[in-house]
Amino acid sequence: MSGGVRLATEAQETMSGNRWKLLRRIDRLSPQQVLVIGFAALIVVGGLLLSLPVASRRGDRLSFQDALFTSTSAVCVTGLVVVDTYDRFSLFGQLVIICLIQIGGLGIMTISTLVFLILGKRVTLRGRILIQEAMNQLTLEGMVRLIKKVIAVTVVVEGIGAILLTLRWSGEMGLPKAAYYGLFHAVSAFCNAGFDLFGGFRSLAMYRGDIVVNLTITGLIIIGGLGFAVVTELVENPVGTKRSLHTKLVISTTVLLIAAGTVIVLLLEGKNPNTLGPLGIGEKVIASYFQAVTARTAGFSTVPSGDLRPCTLFFLVTLMFIGASSGSTGGGIKTTTFTVLFLAVLSVIKGRDDVEVSERRIPKRIIDRAFAVAMISLTMVVAITMILSAIEEFGFLEVLFEATSAFGTVGLSTGITPYLALPGKILIMLTMFTGRLGPLTVATAIAQKQHIVQVRYPEEKVMVG
């Protein structure tokens, strides 16, 4: 064998060996670690694309830190922006953003599974486990079937929303632009992202009293925020018989939060001259309803958040912290987590050992998980708020609102996002990232592997309360 052939063979064997080592390392990663790495890689790729001159409307390069922030906000379907989407990005840049929103909203595993199905390849057991973690499902049963339903629901719902918005805007924009705007905002709303193309950080303020725009956008937000498992169950069982407890809790909690939010925002802002005060009663109700819906995870706004009263801002912080539902495109601790915690507290007050609802008992491991999610989330929001308050010159409530908005992947802001210093932007990016993947998922991915054998120590009581 000649020297050149031998060297080529050795190089090929080395490359093959390195590839095999890489595959083995990837195979050792937990599902949580795979999801974290996948989302992080997508964000970096998005940041690189958005920093290209072709992505800028002006033809220059957007700084990588601002491009990375925008990519993080899009992938994490948040909507917080440091530059205006319409004024700063070209058509290419806007298309990159909407693609990042769609992938981030559906999840990397959903898109990967779709590609596998198109290519006719089989989804492995490890792939199904990754889908289970990404979709926050309780069992492995029917994962591929669920993905097919998710894709179908997404196409139908976004398609209907795009058509309605196109018809509404065609008269004032012309059909081609209206179709593009309709599709962009339908995807952004269904994925609970909150990105818009109306420029000047105005969001949907000009359509504050428009019934079609308001009902279409909020409808998309609500459906996207219910969770794919709930939506598919509602499609298959629209009458309401034999629905799962999860679906019942999601629907009842969502309706309650929207109704209570509408009433409270209307009462708090009804006489505010900078927000709802000058409006008629009809517009006040519509604007209050829109604010109650969007504050839970979407980020669109018809009323400037910076003009809201402090009590309203704090109330919206509560809604943002709760967020959307499990397995949805939204963030927050999730509606079911909030409800389970409320029911657990209620059970303690009543002196009951079990947490019961609708003639069903909620398992202790679910309650423990809910407490873990809530505590990790609360700790993170408090820590980020304290750090931002120390390094930024903004008021405490503004910083708390920004931190909670980032964690809940909401996207509402009092207007301070573009003026954050680099450390502040990094903190907000990390908060959006954690909020999208879920604090428990990120914490599990960072933590060491669990021990297979667990030792149970003697029990001893501790005084609490």
φ, ψ (nearest 5 deg) of residue 398: -65, -40
Written as six digits, the tokens of 111 are 């898109």
Pairing status of strand 360-362 against strand 355-357: antiparallel
Which region holds residue 136: left if phi is over 0, alpha if psi is between -120 and 50, else beta? left
- CA nearest 130: which of 198, 261, 31, 252? 31
Three-class secondary structure of residue 360 per DSSP: strand
Please list the rounded mean pLDDT of every run of 10 residues in the chain (465 residues).
53 51 54 77 94 91 94 91 92 95 77 59 59 56 71 91 95 92 95 88 87 95 88 80 85 95 95 92 94 89 91 95 86 91 92 86 90 92 95 94 93 91 94 83 60 66 70
The pLDDT of residue 359 is: 83
The pLDDT of residue 115 is: 59
Three-class secondary structure of residue 416 per DSSP: coil
Written as six digits, the tokens of 133 are 């973690």
- Domain ranges for the chain, please list them: 27-444
